[in-house]
A and B are shown apart, each in its own frame.
Chain A
Amino acid sequence: MKKLEEKIFKFLMIGSTVLILSVLLYILYVIMKKGLPSLSWDMISKIPSGGFYLGKEGGILNAIMGSLYLISFSVIISLMISVPVVMYLNFTLRRKSRLAAFARLTFDVLFGIPSIVYGAFGFTLMIYFGLQASLLGGIIAISLLIIPVMIRSIDEVAILIPNDLVEATKSLGATNYETIKVITRQLLPGISTAVLLSIGRGIGDAATVLFTAGYTDSIPTSLTQPTASLPLAIFFQLSSPVEEVQNRAYAAALVLTIIILTLSFAARYFSRRLSKNKI
């Protein structure tokens, strides 16, 4: 009986892993198969020219640059907000204080809110401040979207930091600020994971940028100009009746995937180099 139980569980574990892996690999396969033939140097080095969406010349450089601008600024802003929030929750408030528990619950809820809501909220904010669809609007909306992700994932690691570390540092005469610097160092692997998760969530999201960043065929040169983004480039091209354009959507998806992979590897590499503690 015990043996049967064990076998069932083993089957379940292996089965689920295989299932999910094969689905993911299949998605990658489809993107590659349909996207690779359309992927060309022009595609990633040129902005769309007239008639691009009817299958004529041009590329998606506008969307690539737009997405990179959007995500890099949002990640920087979110980090500047999330890290202090986590420090406050863990090292200034007592760990089990009510305010901290309430804040964590709130971030969990915010985590689960659909991205279109952030898009809509960002949109109302923009109207209030008299902004048009722009790079700035997109950055604000994406930051709102990824801050809860970031806070919660850094928080998961910060909770594990032993109080001993805080005391060891303080007993050497370190000020609060110096102590926080040491803690941040200990948190680096957590922070890099958080950045990765946020990039994944932020760069691939179409709904947040739909109203807030707009779409344009040129690369933005200021924060107030609208900007294109890869998810929307995929969306618009995929809804075209022209097959060639549809295939370009897959090429754009491939580009997006490659960007995410590259950023992941880079983040992992740097966090390993930075945190001498973990090698």
Chain B
Amino acid sequence: MELMTAPSIAEQPTPKAKSSSGCLRPHIEVENLNLYIQNNHILKNINLAIPDKSITCIIGPSGCGKTTLLRTFNRLHDDSVDVKITGRLFVDCEDIYAKDAEVTHIRKKMGLLAQRPCSLPMSIIDNVVYGPRIHGVRGKRKLYAIARHQLNAVGLWEEVKDRLKSPASKLSIGQQQRLCLARGLAVEPEIILGDEATSALDPISSKTIEELFVSIKDKYTIVLVTHTLRQAKRIADYVAFMYMGELIEFGTADQVFNHPKHKLTKEYISGGFS
């Protein structure tokens, strides 16, 4: 019998007990996660429950392990030889670090938006439909419809509809980042991971991306690593504060920003250190 209610770890809000797939855990649940690179203890006993259909921002000073934590969610550390991970990480009740977990299936559930947009070496439309294509969607019309739908969703359709066949690298950085988001959405993920997804963009583009996140959060679980506190304040529903590889505080945005429980959190959000 699984836990009937979400684990009541201290200082955590009670996340929605039931995620979209009908299992009884929160959408993403991290249990006693430790990560070592060579012999350095990078993530220290992380316990975290990320509720679905909301934006969770992971904040903290540089080098605190935010990105490392995010990358454990879709097993991007798999190819690094030096990395050792212990603990459990559940997505939709499935332990993604279990021996029989299939990595492509897990990654398909999550769209990753990197710091710098990385378009694939192909045309705009091929970029968007790359995911569906490798997962077996066939037929020109079907793929076109997907591309149109997703490009519309990120507000790029009007800008690129006349040059779908031209190389994606010709787009501006802001457009490319939206293209990458469309590409991620096209595999119909449940989760969107953003690793400082707006830090390489100009203010207008990053505002567009932020608004996009807010507009789609009723359909996806969005986890963002961000360096800018203001951004977290603007869009976060939940905030996780990390320091030196430890999760210091996790709660609703209001809780963390207005009534922080931990001294370190208080100092960090008041600009005491960065």
Q: Among the listed A173, A277, A279, which residue makes an inter-chain contact with B187, where contact means beta carbons less than 8 Å apart?
A: A173
Q: By the criterion CB–CB under 8 Å, are B114 and A168 in contact? A: yes
Distance of A278 Cα from B166 Cα, bound (Å): 10
Distance of A168 Cα from B167 Cα, bound (Å): 17
**Which chain B residue has the least Cβ–Cβ distance from A174?**
B134
**Which chain A residue has the least Cβ–Cβ distance from B132?**
A172
Q: By the criterion CB–CB under 8 Å, are A170 and B121 in contact? A: no
Distance of A164 Cα from B165 Cα, bound (Å): 23
Q: By the criterion CB–CB under 8 Å, are B118 and A164 in contact? A: yes
Most buried by B among A169, A174, A178, A186: A174
Q: How far is the CB of B3 from chain A (nearest CB, A)?
A: 29
Q: By the criterion CB–CB under 8 Å, are A170 and B114 in contact? A: no
Distance of A185 Cα from B122 Cα, bound (Å): 8
Known: A94-B81, A185-B121. A173 touches B183 (CB 8 A): no
- With an 8 A cutoff between CB atoms, is B74 at the interface? yes
**Which chain A residue has the least Cβ–Cβ distance from B120?**
A182
Q: A84-97: contact bitstring with B at CB < 8 Å (1 yes, 0 no)? A: 00000000001000
- With an 8 A cutoff between CB atoms, is A171 at the interface? yes
Q: Which of A160-193 contact B (CB under 8 A)?
A: 162, 164-175, 178, 182, 185-186
Q: By the criterion CB–CB under 8 Å, are A171 and B107 in contact? A: yes
- With an 8 A cutoff between CB atoms, is B169 at the interface? yes
Q: Among the listed B123, B184, B187, which residue makes an inter-chain contact with A276, where contact means beta carbons less than 8 Å apart?
A: B123
- With an 8 A cutoff between CB atoms, is B238 at the interface? no
Q: Which residues of B contact A172 (CB under 8 A)?
A: 107-108, 111, 130-131, 134, 183-184, 187
Q: By the criterion CB–CB under 8 Å, are B134 and A178 in contact? A: yes
Query: Interface residue count for B (Cβ, 8 Å)?
Result: 34
Q: How far is the CB of A164 from chain B (nearest CB, A)?
A: 4
- With an 8 A cutoff between CB atoms, is B112 at the interface? yes
Q: Which residues of A contact B184 (CB under 8 A)?
A: 171-172
Distance of A191 Cα from B126 Cα, bound (Å): 22
Q: B219-239: contact bitstring with A at CB < 8 Å (1 yes, 0 no)? A: 000000000000000000000
**Which chain B residue has the least Cβ–Cβ distance from A183?**
B121
Q: By the criterion CB–CB under 8 Å, are A173 and B108 in contact? A: yes
Most buried by B among A171, A178, A185, A186: A171
Distance of A172 Cα from B76 Cα, bound (Å): 11
Q: By the criterion CB–CB under 8 Å, are B120 and A173 in contact? A: no
Q: Which residues of A contact B259 (CB under 8 A)?
A: none
**Which chain B residue has the least Cβ–Cβ distance from A161?**
B121
Known: A173-B135, A174-B104, A175-B104. A162 touches B123 (CB 8 A): no
**Which chain A residue has the least Cβ–Cβ distance from B169?**
A277
Q: Which residues of B contact A170 (CB under 8 A)?
A: 76, 107
Q: Which residues of A contact B76 (CB under 8 A)?
A: 167, 170-171
Q: Which of B129-172 contact A (CB under 8 A)?
A: 130-131, 134-135, 165-169
**Which chain B residue has the least Cβ–Cβ distance from A94?**
B81
Distance of A37 Cα from B245 Cα, bound (Å): 79
- With an 8 A cutoff between CB atoms, is A275 at the interface? yes
Distance of A178 Cα from B79 Cα, bound (Å): 15
Q: By the criterion CB–CB under 8 Å, are B131 and A186 in contact? A: no
**Which chain B residue has the least Cβ–Cβ distance from A187?**
B121
Q: Which of A184-224 contact B (CB under 8 A)?
A: 185-186
Q: Which residues of B contact A279 (CB under 8 A)?
A: 166-167
Which 4 pairs from chain A and chain B are nearest by CB? A173-B108, A171-B112, A277-B121, A164-B118
Other contacts beyond A172-B183, A178-B134: 4, CB < 8 A? A94-B81, A167-B76, A172-B130, A172-B187
Using a CB–CB distance below 8 Å, which chain A residues touch chain B?
94, 162, 164-175, 178, 182, 185-186, 275-279
Using a CB–CB distance below 8 Å, which chain B residues touch chain A?
74, 76, 79-81, 104-105, 107-108, 110-112, 114, 116, 118, 120-123, 126, 130-131, 134-135, 165-169, 180, 183-184, 187, 193
> Could you write out 28 A-B pairs with CB less than 8 Å apart?
A94-B80, A162-B118, A164-B114, A164-B118, A167-B112, A168-B112, A168-B118, A168-B120, A169-B120, A171-B74, A171-B76, A172-B108, A172-B111, A172-B130, A172-B187, A173-B104, A173-B105, A173-B187, A174-B104, A175-B104, A178-B134, A182-B120, A182-B130, A276-B121, A276-B126, A276-B165, A277-B122, A277-B168
